[in-house]
Structure 1
Amino acid sequence: MHLLISVLHDPELLILDEPFMGLDPIAIKGLRDLVFELKSRGKTVLLSTHWMDQAEQLCDSVCLIKNGEKIYSGSLDALRKKHIKNEIYVEIEGNVNFEEFQGINKVKKEGKGFILIMEKKPENFIRELTDIADVKEFRTVYPSLEDIFIEEVGGE
């Protein structure tokens, strides 16, 4: 009810503090849809949350706080790029023995393809792979905001 009253006068800025706490899945979807609607109308929504998956879906920019101090403030894309590991997703037609390639530390089956954890940047590997296999999909694997948060803030 408070949220409805807050948006009734069409504010330019809406501040939400832990808005997903205690909500059922239907209410969470409704709130997410409202935030997307406000963003599409050019409104600013300041969201304070511990739900990293919600922040990842809703936010363009994030601020990470550790022990009361800001440790990062900026775009979510830039933060994710800063934390890229040498992981790629590759989907191929046919079979490939990944053990034949140097520099692959680990191979995990993921859906129709594989996640490969590489020793270093995968550019050379991709060239070699496309020489011997029909690559259907290739993409960098970006860490989740939760993984980044745990790496940056947690576990001391």
Structure 2
Amino acid sequence: MRALTFSEYGPASVLEVADVPEPHAGPGHIRVGVRASGLTPADCHLRSGRFRAMAPLRLPHVLGMDAAGVVDEVGPGVTGIRPGDEVFGIVEVAQLGGANAEYAVLAAWAPKPDALSWEQAGGAAGNVETATRALDRLEIGTGTTLLIEGAAGGVGT
């Protein structure tokens, strides 16, 4: 399968499209045929080597944490989803990448809203999950008004 990879840390010029082995859905995961995937500032820091001390990568590395696509494999223990479903989601955080490829294994996902294009959904999952987690921790309930002053970036928006 083709994927966006890098084999050494450095500037954007170290990126290349390469053939890599296809991943497969393990327990609790799904695999999607990727229609769109995101590239975040964190991906750029991983590629540059800036996060090397706290997040060492096995090289070559496939970039990308967010993806949207069509489910084609469902791992053991996964219920409520089947091949052919359209979803958006994120790869396993410990993996720190793998979504900028023809296929990606997602650890967290949701149905792709019809109102989002593939491109919008392909870059939204990490931000949506982070914002949702923050709101859940604040225990924001129905009918509550929350003012978020100075919100910026994907999560804040």
Superposition TM-score tier, normalisation by shorter sequence: under 0.3
Q: Which has the larger radius of gyration?
A: 1
**RCO higher in 1 or 2 (8 Å CA, sep ≥ 6)?**
2
TM-score by length of 2: 0.24
Structure having the higher helix fraction is 1
Structure having the higher strand fraction is 1
